[in-house]
């Protein structure tokens, strides 16, 4: 490993921590799923066959953007090409793929998760379901990459979910948000037909979020002398 070896060591540890968090949140089970983060022209990615909820730093392998192993003792995940495809096509900083229960359940019955709550706009709006293909195949990678167009999340038919983001923390948050939204949809659908936000309503949310810098904390302005 050259150049960014210390950073990659930190990122390998970060990938392991992310997997353990996702496992604790119930989004990962056993060896199913994979997580990666990019540092310049290197990618730290989970090894195939590792128990993700108990992942250790040495179970994270480092590859270049062509998929060649440059550090680590273990073979990378079988979904390596999918992760690399997301980096090449969308310039992501991190990728999270899970078999989260609610997301996987909806991937078995929906063609698209509609925008039923404004928080889905953080993922780009409605979440497409990529057509089924066998895991680890070019067909699956192509299917998911197409579903991700203009989005930071996709469901994978009868398989699971994938999110990406500029940072690993944000990709994990996207995965948690997607699982929450899938749960909301499932509960709403059990009660009736879920309402979907139309384009006007979605635009209004975006405008309000920009105007209020939504999602960040704001200090209380200092009290002016004349207003005491």
* Whether pLDDT at 1 is above 50: no
Residue 100 structure tokens: 């989260």
144 contacts: CB under 8 Å, gap ≥ 6: 82, 85, 130, 154, 156, 162
* Whether pLDDT at 211 is above 90: no
- pLDDT the model gives residue 225: 60
Average pLDDT rounded to a whole number, residues 149-157: 98
Distances (CA, A) of 156 to 47, 109, 224, 227: 21, 11, 55, 57
* Whether pLDDT at 228 is above 80: no
- pLDDT the model gives residue 33: 97
- pLDDT the model gives residue 213: 73
Q: Are strands 127-130 and 153-156 parallel, antiparallel or unpaired?
A: parallel
Q: Which of 11, 54, 79, 199 is catalytic?
A: 79
pTM of the model as a whole: 0.90
Q: Which strand (E) or helix (H) includes residue 160?
A: strand 160-165
Q: Quick check: is 79 catalytic?
A: yes
Average pLDDT, the chain: 93
Distance of CA 41 to the CA centre of its chain: 20
| Comparison of pLDDT for 49 and 224, the residue scoring more | 49
* Whether pLDDT at 218 is above 50: yes
């Amino acid at each position: 490993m050259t150049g960014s070896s210390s950073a990659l060591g930190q990122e390998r540890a970060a990938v392991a921590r992310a997997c353990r968090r996702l496992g604790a949140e119930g989004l990962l089970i056993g060896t199913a799923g994979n997580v990666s983060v990019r540092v310049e022209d290197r990618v730290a990615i989970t090894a195939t066959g590792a128990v993700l909820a108990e992942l250790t730093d040495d179970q994270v392998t480092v590859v270049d953007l062509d998929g060649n192993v440059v550090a680590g003792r273990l073979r990378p995940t079988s979904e390596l090409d999918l992760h690399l495809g997301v980096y090449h096509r969308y310039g992501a900083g991190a990728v999270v793929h899970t078999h989260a229960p609610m997301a996987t359940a909806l991937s078995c019955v929906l063609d698209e998760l509609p925008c039923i709550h404004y928080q889905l706009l953080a993922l780009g709006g409605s979440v497409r379901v990529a057509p089924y293909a066998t895991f680890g195949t070019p067909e699956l990678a192509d299917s998911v990459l197409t579903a991700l167009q203009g989005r930071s999340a996709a469901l994978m038919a009868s398989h699971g979910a994938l999110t990406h983001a500029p940072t690993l923390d944000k990709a994990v948050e996207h995965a948690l948000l997607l699982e929450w939204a899938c749960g909301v949809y499932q509960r709403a659908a059990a009660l009736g037909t879920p309402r979907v936000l139309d384009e006007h309503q979605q635009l209004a949310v975006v405008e309000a979020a920009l105007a209020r810098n939504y999602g960040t904390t704001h200090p209380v302005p200092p009290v002016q002398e004349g207003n005491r």
